[in-house]
Chains A and B, each alone.
Chain A
């Protein structure tokens, strides 16, 4: 049984091809305005990496905001269920999934891979990957540099977490006041973590806490979250593909 999971998010498209409990291949691409095209492209690219043809794939499950636009999928499941299943597949004793995606973030209470409860941010980019992108841009940094820079900070500046646009102007004013870039960045990571933990408290934080989504790779955010909850979190080797992996697991029966 070979199954594929395709996760069309707001910023990136992800695809995982799975055989039994073995990941044959995965890939991540930036989405294009044409979601159908993005879905086909990511699927073909992953097939190529796995050395497979379309016909060899028994089931295709789509997830993410663009799931409805993956016309060749057999099934469409929300990213909530997929993140729960994908996290459980990688880390069986997961109790809470914190997924920080490009356009939204969500906290899912999980038990044996089943969703018990969930909460998502609404109509606001603060607390999402986009928030970090905007701040990185304001500071003239690459997104990959953010995490490590944050760890170097000895002090953390306070950034409002209520609005991305206003937070950006705060960052700019800190810069003009001559504050250190790493201290500003540490403040940015702290702001996101604060918002996420407030959300997570609504569904309750239970061990193990697994971080997924692109922002999970950011060491600054990860550290800020760990400080706030008081214990270590687990991050899968490739946290960005957990939703697509969950979709592939669902497709494998």
Chain B
């Protein structure tokens, strides 16, 4: 995993042309045109995991960016100002590709990047689907996909080949299928993995979706998990309570949270975050762009609260969990908005803890411990 992602970042520096891309954008189009995708959000997670969130955020804050902004954005822009990062900074982009199916912060964030780097930006605007997806929504997004292809062709001087796109889509769907299989191994009792394993192993499906690297990685992981089930090896020694995690991980506290639950015989078997990528497996080989428009518009953070609650209830049933731990993430407003309402619609008890995915200044341990312990006592 470490080697795979190290080589992913290294190749980014060597690539002839690259695009900085948001986590919910159709990366398949880039891979099909040999444009190397760079993920500032993945970079942000890495900064969080190395506990340097507040350090890099400071560079942004000193330049006038508010602490209330998303910490991925603050750290990413902070690293640009700092001229470095835990991995020596990201390579300068050829162009930028933001899709607002995850949030609207990415629009402003990428506009800032576009001004700093003086490179073109393409914004793929996916309407928020409060209830039903309409034909007009699809047409609107599909037309933009055609525009994007023209935009990318003009900048790179390359042409998108249909056959190549088909191959990338096929690899993407295969990779997502294997990835989903890995996550669903947690249905086993006791679970061979927990959500912390899922978080650590999600980078390939985000960054390398559509390549053989992702497929090979999840083939290996699937084998390991299948073996663990056969041998009766579980993530938590005495799994008594099964839980579901909601929201982006608290990257700088992964190990701490992992041990906290393990010491109390509780296993967070699954989470809504890593499961969100399983939806990209619905891409179709025929009429690719229309299918792409649909799949990417209906991403997990671009749908109404009722639908979100339905999906969580489905995961509760699928993984047979006893409760839900919801991270109210100071950074991610679309993910955290409505959690108190969603709580009321869930079929099992839930608890909310307040924190941030990257900014460790927001985390207060005593308060989190009391809420989680009381929740486990209650269950």
Q: What residues make up the interface of A, taking CB atoms closer than 8 Å to B?
A: 65, 77-81, 104, 114-118, 120, 122-123, 202
A-B contact pairs, 20 of them (CB 8 A): A77-B377, A78-B374, A79-B374, A80-B370, A80-B374, A80-B377, A81-B374, A81-B377, A81-B378, A104-B367, A114-B378, A115-B377, A118-B374, A118-B378, A120-B370, A120-B371, A122-B354, A122-B367, A123-B364, A123-B367
Q: Which of B299-349 contact A (CB under 8 A)?
A: 340, 349
Q: Which residues of A contact B364 (CB under 8 A)?
A: 123
Q: Which residues of B contact A117 (CB under 8 A)?
A: 349, 378
A115 touches B371 (CB 8 A): no
Given contacts A104-B367, A123-B367, 9 further A-B contacts (CB under 8 A): A65-B366, A65-B370, A78-B370, A78-B374, A80-B378, A114-B378, A117-B349, A123-B354, A202-B340
Complexed CA–CA distance, A136 and B370 (Å): 29
Closest chain A residue, CB of each to CB of B374: A80
Going nearest first, the 7 A-B pairs with the smallest beta carbon separation are: A80-B374, A78-B374, A115-B378, A122-B354, A78-B373, A81-B377, A78-B370
Q: How far is the CB of A250 from chain B (nearest CB, A)?
A: 10
Q: Which residues of A contact B349 (CB under 8 A)?
A: 117
Q: How far is the CB of B142 from chain A (nearest CB, A)?
A: 42
Tally B residues with Cβ within 8 Å of A: 12
Q: How far is the CB of A99 from chain B (nearest CB, A)?
A: 12
B377 touches A78 (CB 8 A): yes
Q: Which residues of B contact A116 (CB under 8 A)?
A: 378
Closest chain B residue, CB of each to CB of A204: B344
Q: Which residues of B contact A80 (CB under 8 A)?
A: 370, 374, 377-378
Closest chain B residue, CB of each to CB of A108: B374
Q: How far is the CB of A81 from chain B (nearest CB, A)?
A: 5
Q: Which residues of B contact A118 (CB under 8 A)?
A: 374, 378
Q: Mark B354-367, 1 if CB is under 8 A from A, else 0.
A: 10000000001011
Complexed CA–CA distance, A78 and B351 (Å): 14
Q: How far is the CB of B43 from chain A (nearest CB, A)?
A: 27
Closest chain B residue, CB of each to CB of A104: B367
Q: How far is the CB of A86 from chain B (nearest CB, A)?
A: 14
Q: Which residues of A contact B366 (CB under 8 A)?
A: 65
Complexed CA–CA distance, A116 and B351 (Å): 12
Complexed CA–CA distance, A123 and B355 (Å): 10
Q: Which residues of A contact B374 (CB under 8 A)?
A: 78-81, 115, 118
Closest chain B residue, CB of each to CB of A65: B366
Q: Which residues of B contact A65 (CB under 8 A)?
A: 366, 370
A79 touches B367 (CB 8 A): no
Complexed CA–CA distance, A117 and B374 (Å): 10
Complexed CA–CA distance, A115 and B366 (Å): 20
Q: Which residues of B contact A114 (CB under 8 A)?
A: 378
Closest chain A residue, CB of each to CB of B378: A115
Q: How far is the CB of B344 from chain A (nearest CB, A)?
A: 9
Q: How far is the CB of B222 from chain A (nearest CB, A)?
A: 38
Q: Which residues of A contact B377 (CB under 8 A)?
A: 77-78, 80-81, 115
Complexed CA–CA distance, A121 and B367 (Å): 10
Which of B349, B364, B370, B371 has the most chain A CB atoms closer than 10 A to its own CB? B370
Complexed CA–CA distance, A29 and B378 (Å): 29
